[in-house]
Amino acid sequence: MTQALDRLSMTVNRVTEWALAPLLAFLAGLLVVAVFSRYVFHIAMVEAMELTRLAFVWGCFLGAAVALRRGAHVRVTFLVDRLPARLHPLGLLVAYASFLVFAGMMVWHGAALTQRMSVTRFPTLGISQAWLYAALPVSGAIMVLHGLAGIVRAAAELAAGSRGRAP
């Protein structure tokens, strides 16, 4: 189960990274075009503001999910560093469990918020604002998967360490 969950987490992470690349390229390109249009031609692209907001929010939340899988989130290591080496996986286990609770709340409350905002529309684009808020439950679900995989990995390392093998 450990390997299957870890492979699923890695696959979802790879797909997320591939989705992020064109999204961030679109964001950067749109910003360049909007600034150029405004300051050179004195034409404001009002739609660009809403589109960049959508791309930025999705990029941030999906990027946070990728960072969790890579172990790149800011962590408080003060307590973990003071644990004996064989108990470091216990610190990781607690950290992933805490993050799992947070990600679960993102999914739960994000889904409720997305549903409530589905009746509102972006003024210039005319699409539902649920597209903006859907980044919360989607990225939260990805984080739940990564958190579960991290918990299983840390638990396996902890069990291996308690049997006398080096973690």
Please work out, in degrees rounded to the nearest 5, the angle formed at the alpha carbon of residue 154 by the alpha carbons of 111 and 106: 10
Confidence of residue 64 (pLDDT cuts 50, 70, 90): very high
Mean residue pLDDT of the chain comes to 87
- The pLDDT value given to residue 76: 57
75: left (phi over 0), alpha (psi -120 to 50) or beta: beta
- DSSP letter for 93, please: H
pTM to 2 decimal places: 0.85
Other beta carbons within 10 Å of 66: 20
CA-to-CA distance for 137 and 130, rounded, in angstroms?
11
Is the predicted pLDDT of residue 112 greater than 50, yes or no?
Answer: yes
